[in-house]
Amino acid sequence: MARSWRIAWLLFLATLLNYLDRQILSLVSPVLRIQFRMNAAQYSHLLSSFLFGYTAMQILAGWLVDRVGARLGLTLAMLWWSAAGVLSAFANRPGELATCLFLLGVGEAANWPTAVKAVQEWFPPSQRAVAVGLFNAGSSAGAVLAPVIVESITIAYSWRAAFAFCGVLGLLWIFPWRASYLGSPPHPPIFERTVTKVRSPWRDSRIAGVLLARFFGDSIWYFYIFWLPDYLSKTRSFSLRQIGGVAWIPFAASAAGNFCGGTISGALVRRGWRPSQARITAMAGSAAVMALGVLLRSMTKPTAAVTLICVVVFAYSSWAANVLTLPGDLFPRELVATVTGAAGALAGLGGVLSTLIVGRVVDLYSYGPVFWGIGLLPLAALLGSLLTLKDGKSHPAGAMAE
């Protein structure tokens, strides 16, 4: 196997572990809410603790990775968030667990900036979205495996054992990563053009497009990741064992969406399309499908609801494979992780706000009004993403083989 694809698979595993760790809270929420006597709003505060740490660290994480490199950056990040996961197993009060979840978010913030930077360094534009789709499919794989692993450990032992087990897996990942990411990435001319240096690259409207696309679009994913088990429990009356048997299905569909979105835009690039135009075209189709999430409010049968959720998260992952690739297409190497981190920060902020809103709306009303918002978010995300098609003022030469 070529080294570039070996690195991509290790990024896939890192992303899988990233999502395995963050899924634990939502999967054990029925147990935690009883043990700690929490309502939906109080539970949303635990989720927000993770998201605050994740959001606050995104920009700094991207900036640091652009300076220390992908190999060291992801090593330190994995060490941090795996240790935080293990510490979560020892929390005895909601406040202690919230602190551990905050630290977990701080460590996990570096995963996507590092992965996008590594893909830009090791893959040409025609393969980039597929490579991004591969590592981002780790989020789906983690979400698929989490119900099986976490629910089994929780039922057999406790929710504490689930946190400890997943944290140890992350520590073991560090060894193959350090061994594989050696030497310098390839630098053929197709990878990068000369970019004019300017004082303020943040005036580039294309950066605003990436940030807005992530702010609105990622809130959809956060909703399904954090609230699906609670939705199945409260609205569909699923038991913990039933949730473990069903909650993985939408995320299996989302894994396929990563490869679909990357394959479509990659094919358009090979046909001569500008990379950004190819990504936005694939994203437009994905946004239209994601908007169907509004129909969930009227679904009466659990099977139909789960099927529609599968369709929506499939489309989201197709979207994500392309929006995550855009920084590598549009910006020079020294800005890629920084822009990705800034976009992740806005995405995390959107996740914090949407999570708090969902908790309040569910307590006061039901999940019905929530699905109206989930159906409108893809359209707002698409409108924001159109800014990436404008000519870059800060980088007039264009970047990354456009």
Q: Tell me the C-alpha distance between 275 and 272, whole Å.
A: 9
Rounded average pLDDT per 10-residue block, the chain, 402 residues: 83 91 79 77 78 83 85 91 90 84 91 87 82 84 82 84 90 90 55 42 81 91 80 76 77 85 88 89 93 83 86 92 87 82 85 83 82 88 88 41 34
In the chain, how long is the greatest CA-to-CA distance? Answer: 59
For 205-219, b/e burial (b = at least 16 CB within 10 A) is: ebbbbbbbbbbbbbb
- C-alpha atoms less than 13 angstroms from C-alpha of 48 in its C-beta half-sphere: 18
Instruction: Give the ranges where 28-39 is alpha helix by DSSP (H).
Output: 29-35
pLDDT of residue 194: 34
225, two tokens: 């990741």
Question: What is the pLDDT at residue 34?
Answer: 77
The pLDDT value given to residue 200? 56
Q: Report CA-CA distances (Å) from 339 to 81, 103, 114, 247, 257.
A: 22, 22, 11, 32, 24
All structural domains of the chain, each given as residue ranges with its CATH number in brackets, are: 3-178+206-389 (1.20.1250.20)
Q: Where are the alpha helices (DSSP H) in 235-332?
A: 240-246, 249-270, 275-290, 302-323, 326-330
Q: Residue 223 has what pLDDT? A: 86
If residue 204 lies in a helix (H) or strand (E), which one and from where to where?
Answer: none
> What pLDDT digit, counting tens, does each position of 353-390 carry?
887 888 888 888 888 888 888 889 999 999 989 988 87
Residues with Cβ within 8 Å of residue 274, at least 6 apart in sequence: 402
Give 297's DSSP letter.
G
| Alpha-carbon torsion, ordered 77, 79, 83, 84, to 10 deg | 0
Residue 346 pLDDT: 87
